[in-house]
Chains A and B, each alone.
With several copies, the nearest count.
Chain A
Amino acid sequence: MFTLTEEHDMLRDAARAFVQEKMPTAHLRAVRESKPDGFDRALWKEMSDLGWAGILIPEEHGGAALGYVGMGLVLEECGRTLAPSPLHSTALVGASALILGGTAAQKAEWLPKIAAGEAVVALAIDESAHHAPEKIKLDAKGRALTGEKKYVADGHVADLLIVAARDGGAVTLFLVPARADGVTITPLKTLDSRGAADIAFNGAKAEPLGGPELVDQVLDRARIGLAAEMLGQATQAFETTSEYLKTRTQFGQLIGSFQALQHRAAKMFVELELTRSCVLAALAALDENRNDVAEHASLAKARAGETLHLVSNEMVQMHGGIGMTDAADPGLYLKRARVAEALYGSASYHRDRYAALNNF
């Protein structure tokens, strides 16, 4: 379950080398100042050329078919430096929705574009301040969408929208080109500088994609992939903080030699190791097509959220005053953490879901 193939090892090493060189946290700062899209299109092209946009996509559609474990490894590396890109929304969520629910024609139209980095895809789910897929109201009668979606990740830069809506009874997914008539996109300036959008639909024409069970399948993939990114963020936040504990001196001693901080660091290490197991197990469950994906997804997202919350707070606190400055990295991790914690369901949401999945 936890064993990586040689291909996976190579993919992770390549991702780490690329991200560390081209997308350190300084890159996020540059994007924040000068790229209203929230990412750098030239670098996204390079990432696509490396095959990342097509990791999940079958070879016949121009992808590499390396599976979710591979996707997770790359997302984790991107998380380490907070590298901004549409990788999660497009290569994971968008590609998954099309692969799982698309017709042959839909796949043929969109998957090659995704694999080539030529189309950005965004999943429009939530309609209020909180993740609540069971409450979706967006009306899809007659294949024309009417209603509103909130905080659509990468919705401000998407070429293709995948929209959860209700056609009569059950909620299903629909495809709508982002520039179609009846679609109004309001870009949001967000805490993590990546941007998002509120989107209004006013009779926009939509193509259905798969059946009702597709919504859960796609959401669980979004949650697990995001958990992998969050694992990377938390791991790096912890490692950066550990290094600081080994270099910063107060009272004539390295602050990392104070036992109270040592114990807090050790507890974070325990949390990180447990979270890593949950994330890797969830990715493997997807590749193995297991029937407990839902439980794994809620476990991974909730634990990644709790661990990242803890570690991002401790990162600021252990850096002291420096941690409060915009010039230092802790604030960047803290801001991205709060966004990632909320997306696709908070820890509270997933505790509730985990309990329900376990019948209590």
Chain B
Amino acid sequence: MADGPGPQTSKELEEFRSETRAWLEANCPALMRTPMGEDDAVWGGRDWKPKHPEQKQWLDAMASKGWTVPTWPTEYGGGGLSPQENTILQDELRRIKARPALMSFGIWMFGPVLLEYGNEAQKKKYLPQIARGEIRWCQGYSEPGAGSDLAGLQTKCEDKGDHYLINGQKVWTSYANEADWIFCLVRTDTKVKHEGISFILFDMTSPGVETRPIKLISGASPFCETFFTDVKVPKENLVGKLNGGWEIAKRLLMYERTSISAGGFGGGAGALPIEEIAKHYVGVEDGKLEDRDLRARIAAHKMYDKAFALTVRRAQEMAKAGDNVSHMASMFKVAAATMNQEKTELIVEAMGNRALGWSGDGFTKGEILAPRAMLRAKGNSIEGGTTEVNLNVVAKRVLGLRDHQ
């Protein structure tokens, strides 16, 4: 393994580190270095009202450097950083425990595919808005009859000469009721399946767009049903070729899986390690959890958790060394879902009847969150590609097993 000369010398990188550290020290408000509560995430968008002025201050500072999207090119609002510089930036952000300046499907999913598939006008128009958190995007993918079988989608997009006309229904649109624009898969040819899909963008305030939040078993409503009735969309809003959307869709799904797995799923009451929760609710005898059966299962889970974290790190090191690790995305998605479901179930079990509350004063706030986190986690093996679909992908693309012939 030759140590070829990198694009930057280690001296240059060290300089970047000290400059970055100084800048962060000067520009990250104190409040933005404290732990985040449930509602403290900043998603930006036209209607965003900061909960604290520091949120806006921090977002604007980061956006001014292009550091909400550090590796995007500077001409599109990015920071233009090299991978090494970005690693340093992330290190330094972690060091001061800075909150994310901006959460965004535009950053995680839409931006990367637009960089690859968009035309120059589209990139110029949309990417800087994403980087600055001005426009909040949502994803129009699943439909009632097209979940795992995404390519079975039916939302119709007709060419009306000077515009497209869209009719149909999407479901599981995350935060559609709070989003400004949507990136959307539509059917532009009904005679073929995968080859009849296009990737299109439009404003959620367009006439004919309606959203209806879906109440989940956990009690929350982060998703919507979204209805399109004769929605007119300018022709320049098509990304890539007409009927060429499936390739873009798959690429975007890859970014989605990676971002879900790498970030882990939301933990709910998971701020404390399981074993501390268990010690509190189960009790300890001779230094060991009293329920030895549960203890063994918690230990097995923690080992799985650690093995997963080590594997993420291994994949990162491999990627840095130039290896292709795209085959690992489906594996991470499966493992991350399994792990989060196991964790939230173990917490519920460890808390016994204190995790059986739904609301009210009889339980602490953490006790109320535990079963909701468990319920929420059931979706981890469904959203962003079901575990079944991801196991199919591993079997076929990674292991080379074939379908029935």
Contacts and interface: CB of A to CB of B under 8 A. Distances in A.
Contacts of B355: 338, 342
Given A256-B401, A317-B381, A263 B388 contact: yes
A90 B387 CA distance: 43
B375 A360 contact: no
Contacts of A150: 353-354
A245 B402 CA distance: 10
Contacts of A330: 217
B215 interface: yes
B352 interface: yes
A3 B378 contact: no
Residue from the set B219, B287, B375, B388 with the largest chain A CB neighbour count within 10 Å: B388
Query: How many of chain A's residues touch chain B, expressed as a range?
Result: 35 or more
B83 interface: no
A278 B299 contact: no
B349 A2 contact: no
A354 B304 CA distance: 12
Contact of A4 (B1, B146, B288): B1
A4 B321 CA distance: 10
Interface residues of B, number: 93
Contacts of A277: 307, 310-311, 313-314
Most buried by B among A5, A186, A320: A320
Nearest to B310: A277
A354 B299 CA distance: 7
Interface in B353-393: 353-363, 371, 374-375, 378-379, 381-383, 386-388, 391-392
Given A262-B391, A324-B217, A355-B298, A251 B152 contact: yes
Given A130-B352, A265-B395, A278 B401 contact: no
Given A189-B359, A257-B402, A338-B371, A129 B217 contact: no
Given A129-B282, A257-B401, A335-B375, A262 B395 contact: yes
Given A130-B282, A348-B294, A323 B359 contact: no
Given A281-B310, A321-B147, A354-B302, A190 B328 contact: no
Interface in A1-42: 1-6, 9
Contact of B303 (A190, A193, A303): A303
A250 interface: yes
Contacts of A192: 356
Given A128-B352, A342-B353, A270 B331 contact: yes
Interface in B312-347: 313-314, 317-318, 321, 328, 331, 334-335, 341
B162 to A, nearest CB: 36
B405 A266 contact: no
Contacts of A269: 331, 394, 398-399
Interface stretch (B26-34, B57-65, B246-254, B273-281): B273-281
User: Binding site of A, secondary structure by majority: helix, strand, loop or mixed?
Assistant: helix
Contacts of A343: 353
Given A274-B335, A326-B217, A151 B395 contact: no
Contact of B275 (A249, A266, A358): A358
A259 B404 CA distance: 9
Contacts of B276: 360
Contact of B378 (A189, A262, A316): A316
Contacts of B307: 274-275, 277-278, 299, 303
B293 A352 contact: yes
A339 interface: yes
A189 B358 contact: yes
B382 A2 contact: no
Contacts of B321: 3
Nearest to B350: A129
A246 interface: yes
A126 interface: yes
A191 interface: yes
A253 interface: yes
A45 interface: no
B351 interface: yes
Given A275-B307, A331-B217, A351 B299 contact: yes
Nearest to B371: A191
Contacts of B401: 242, 245-246, 254, 256-257, 261-262, 265
A345 B11 CA distance: 47
B288 A356 contact: yes
Nearest to A262: B395
A31 to B, nearest CB: 13
A267 B317 contact: no
A266 B353 contact: no
| 4 A-B pairs closest in CB distance | A331-B217, A129-B352, A262-B395, A151-B353
Given A261-B401, A277-B311, A360-B289, 5 more contacts: A190-B356, A250-B148, A320-B382, A324-B378, A324-B382
28 contacts: A2-B318, A4-B1, A130-B281, A130-B352, A188-B357, A189-B360, A191-B356, A191-B357, A196-B353, A242-B400, A245-B401, A250-B147, A250-B149, A257-B404, A262-B396, A263-B388, A263-B392, A263-B395, A266-B391, A270-B331, A273-B311, A313-B378, A321-B142, A324-B379, A334-B375, A339-B356, A343-B353, A351-B303
